[in-house]
A = this chain, B = another copy of it.
Amino acid sequence: MVIGGDAGGMGAAARARRLDPDLEIVALEKGEWTSYSACGIPYLVSGVVTGGLEALVARSPQVHRTKYRIDVRLRHEVTGIDLDMRRVEVRNHEHGRTLHLSFDELLIGTGARPLRPDVEGIDLPFVHGVQTLDDAGRLIAHARAADCRRVVVVGGGYIGIEMAEAFTERGAEVTLVEGGAQLMRTLDPDMARRVEAAVQRFGIELRTSTPVTGFADGEVHTDSGPIRADLVILGLGVTPNSELAADAGIETGAKGAVSVTPRQRTSAEGVWAAGDCCESFHLVSRRRLHVALGTVANRQARVAGTNLGGGSATFNGVVGTAITKLCGTEVSRTGLTEHECEAAGLDAVAATITSSTRAGYYPGAEEIAVKAVAERRTGRLLGMQIVGGAPGAGKRIDAVAVALHAGFTAEELNDADLAYAPPFGPVWDPVAVAARAVAKAAVAPS
């Protein structure tokens, strides 16, 4: 029995089917869609991706039914898990009926939902969160039907910025409102500054340190006065949909996400979880955290599905890698920021360098800034952040992610045999230069 039709749920279901042709698999999805790329929603809104909502669907319910022989039931919302009776309570929205379905093994893949601040007007119809394809459908319908000239995005994380960019590309006047002092809290402030500059160059009005106090028809209220808005997008981050699990007595942890073992098993025998609803383990900070990213969801689902299908697999953890392209600028990070190191009690040093994405003399070279973080004295690499021009800046982070998995010192990363040719960078790769700078800083007298 699988709860949830996206990456966490269906990824595990499909994987289990591959390993065991005899399993009986039922998947319950409260919405209309399965196995889609929520990461693509901003590009659908902007018009960069064409072909409608279907363009983002990797595997439709029909494909799951015929190719994977999974009994996918749409508009079936699970409202309760009874661990003693080994059954779930399900609301069939199609026929308005409630039913009970038994399971031997259960996979919870309920995902996450946008955070909605508890302020006046939050439930007005012009306020949209964007997480599921159903959300995206409603948003795009609203944007088409109404004359959305003025759009306010609340929250300056990567989803907020992506949506602000998307509506700017559609021709709207967009204001991005962030309660904190910086955009992209996944970066240190000095690196976030570069993203803010790119956002402003793109024509988005940016208001940081501006908490939203409420919504009224056509207006967003803030500390520093109202902003007119035909449409509001919430980009305040997400919270795991773990209430079903918690209500059944299953253990939860970081940010309320479902706790899992490396095999993706929950605290309950025969109950598994994968995707945005559950915790991950951070291999650098050695702490549990909640990560809501497609890559992690797919990996967890593969592990859970392997174990459900009779195989054996573990998900060892993440190193905190993320990437996005915002307003023509590539932004990536892995490991811990300087700020996160403090929070984790690590004695860290940092160094930032600027370089270029191609040899200086090669046309199209763009500036790239790389901030490296390492442990004082030992020189152990702790993380890196990259902000630079497209193409060629962001994906350099993968080499750093592998170095973190390997437990490299910054010096060892600097010594790595990275690829060079003039169309791809200077002879000393920016990542190596940053690693060298932080290696030096780590042993400098403090």
Contacts and interface: CB of A to CB of B under 8 A. Distances in A.
Contacts of A80: none
A8 to B, nearest CB: 13
Contacts of A119: none
A56 B390 CA distance: 23
Given A417-B318, A417-B334, A419-B394, A362 B402 contact: no
Interface stretch (A234-242, A264-272, A423-431): A423-431
A334 B419 contact: yes
Interface string A51-77: 100011000000000000000000000
Interface string A14-37: 000000000000000000000001
Nearest to A412: B405
B334 A294 contact: no
A361 B401 contact: no
A161 to B, nearest CB: 12
B362 A420 contact: no
Interface residues of A, number: 65
Interface string A306-348: 0000000000111111111100000010100000000000000
A181 interface: no
Given A362-B48, A402-B403, A428-B298, A395 B419 contact: yes
Contacts of A395: 392, 395-396, 419, 424-425
A282 to B, nearest CB: 10
Contacts of A402: 399, 402-403, 406, 408, 413, 416, 418
Contact of A398 (B55, B294, B318, B429): B429
A408 B416 CA distance: 14
By Cβ-Cβ distance, the 9 closest A-B pairs, closest first, are A406-B406, A323-B419, A391-B391, A398-B399, A402-B402, A321-B417, A295-B420, A325-B423, A319-B417
